Amino acid sequence: MEALNEKQVMHVANLAKLDINNEEVAKYGRELASILTEIDKILSVDIKNDDILIAPTTNSNMYSSDTVGDMLSRDEIFKNANNASDGYIVVPRVISND
């Protein structure tokens, strides 16, 4: 594929929110054309196999079953907390009022 013209390169740069100068336009034009050439090669491959692999494994719905265990007491919960006050675990503020 030929190098992209200046208008095409600037359009792609604008979409990508890139600020490029005039020296970079020719360079990026050639590089984008090279990428598009490789994409054309990939698209031109004729896949004759109907059994296309969608995922690298045949496993499906591999879930573990939930089991109900004993509930923790309030004392067991609070013994692992660094800071507790009035029946609550105190954590650092993460949202400001600004």
Q: Are 4 and 33 in contact, with CB atoms under 8 Å apart?
A: yes
The reported pTM is: 0.46
Q: What is the pLDDT of residue 45?
A: 85
Q: What is the pLDDT of residue 75?
A: 87
Chunked into runs of 10 residues, the chain (98 residues) has average pLDDT values of 84 92 89 92 82 74 86 89 90 84
Cα first-last separation, the chain: 53
Q: Are 2 and 32 in contact, with CB atoms under 8 Å apart?
A: no
Alpha helices for the chain (secondary structure H)? 6-15, 22-43, 74-78
Q: What is the pLDDT of residue 56?
A: 77
Per-residue model confidence as pLDDT tens digits over 68-86 = 999 999 889 898 888 988 8
Nearby residues of 89 by Cβ (< 8 Å), 6 or more positions away: 77, 78, 81, 83
